[in-house]
Copies of this chain bind each other. A is one copy, B any other.
Amino acid sequence: MLTRAQVEQARERTAAALDAAGVALTSDERAAIEIVDFGLDVLDEIGLQLVVYVNTERVCAKEIVLFANQTCAEHRHPPFDGTPGKEETFRVRSGLVYLHVEGVPTPDPLAHPARVERGVYTAEREIVLRPGQQHTVPPDTLHWFQAGREGAIMSEFSTQSRDDLDVFTDPEIVRATIVAEVPPQPRP
């Protein structure tokens, strides 16, 4: 669970990172930046920040912002409504991302052995993505990723996103962010 102050602070950091990378947002998009802590209460370690540009029945595009060393927990996108599930391409715009995908051999011999202290991970193979590099993850395939020490900005091009259907390896994870409700202050 995050407090409203934590959400707003994370949105400010996200907007500043996008601004520094030359990514323009409308004020509505700025206000709707999605902060995801996976219900684990360690946002800076395991979490991610999202701007959803478009999400129709056929196409989805997002900008993903990762803080320094932040990890998106391992998950897969299962089939739904007669589709094979979400297919997604990750393209790094700035920073460095260590992408781990089930069944993908490691093409980069310099791969940094990124590790996180907490969580459950089974996809061990690692792909290092630098600015301008990308990788497509097929539907229903386990994957997780972690930013390098300077954080990262990554575009995601995909079929429809149905985050509510994501299957996480760690049974403690809850995909929908819960924000602590603070009782309204009495008027003076």
| Interface positions of A (Cβ within 8 A of B) | 21-26, 29, 53-54, 56, 58-61, 87-89, 91-94, 131-134, 136, 155, 157-159
Contact = CB atoms under 8 A, between A and B. Distances in A.
A91 B52 CA distance: 12
B136 A56 contact: yes
Report the copy number of this chain in the oligomer.
Answer: 2
Contacts of A60: 157
B61 A132 contact: no
A22 B94 contact: yes
Contacts of A58: 87, 159
A54 B157 contact: yes
A24 B21 CA distance: 11
